[in-house]
Structure 1
């Protein structure tokens, strides 16, 4: 009996059923104009997952899905999926179903009502993939207040304009400091295939986009540490976008070994 219950719980949700849940949740929050305490907590959990390195396969799938949503649909879809579906359901779905769900969400106007967009901003959902490099919308608002601007944007349009007008110095103030040391378990045969993937990841970074928009002919996407010992290896760090960066981490089979928040992690 217990095995039967487990098998029912683990059955992947179809895209049709997932859309029904999303549409139902969209109608509810549109009428109420607010989120419940549980829904707010689910939204906050999704934000936290989207801003930190995933430590499990399920969390990795969920983060990739959230990033895909944010890039292709917007913060309102991010919010609805967080409160209506969540990590357990999304991670348990098949890859092709997750991809199809993103396409369905993107083209469904029932999920993109103005008041739902406003709720997404009020609950600090990042407005773009670039904002995932910052520790959260609330930190940005705090930085604004420190500069003497007391008005905090409440609508999607206002928040988008606010983000677009922020300078690099403001971004540095609110940049997250959560650092993790990760080691690669990549097969040696994979290394020759990384060229195009790595280039795509670098070109998707906020740093690269800002440099190209400014007309710079050089890039600061590479940072290196050169040891005094000429026989020692050197370390080269890359600035990459979140979505393609996560795909690169997945290919390299990186595993967290140390975290500034958790200290040493077990192997």
Structure 2
């Protein structure tokens, strides 16, 4: 049995067997959470067998079965309660550990942990959460289908490239609905940094307020992008809003 640590209080694993519980206890775990429904696989021990072996090894056992790909808000909330109340450290398991890792990610999101940290922690443990980033960004809850905002063109990045793209499109088509996503209040003209390095300019010369540089008629969304959902033409902001678009231009510099 191989477990993957996600946080100090929680690790996840694939299917465990009654004989594993002694070793799980010896590894320092104090409770196990089963996230796999009974009868899902022919070689799978049922929860009653796991529970009996857990108790014999001095561990608590909690049954919270979820169907793969169908984790409800209630499932996620119940996982959070179990995680908060069971003795720690905990080991959560399912067939591969993916459902348990996904439940953990929703609980972490509900606790306010930033999406990039959640995704990178899971990735380091071998779990790809790219398919549920939208829900993680929404605090672990199932999001409504419609986006919060819509713009025909969304430009990401308020650097020289992003502002140039927005200005050029506006000049060609003044009635075009454009939004520029950029969290910073100050714009630094990066090509000028060469002159700063050469001692010709001071850093202050390259700085402008972002608001003064946003082209007229372009909507400035003062936030950062947390994730992309290209299949839905949607970007997810760190502030948990979603923005849908017809065309997207990413200009981080």
**TM-score bracket for this pair, using the shorter chain length:** under 0.3
The structure with the larger Rg is: 2
Of Structure 1 and Structure 2, the greater helix share is in 1
TM (norm. structure 2) is 0.25
Could you tell me the TM-score, scaled by structure 1's length?
Answer: 0.24
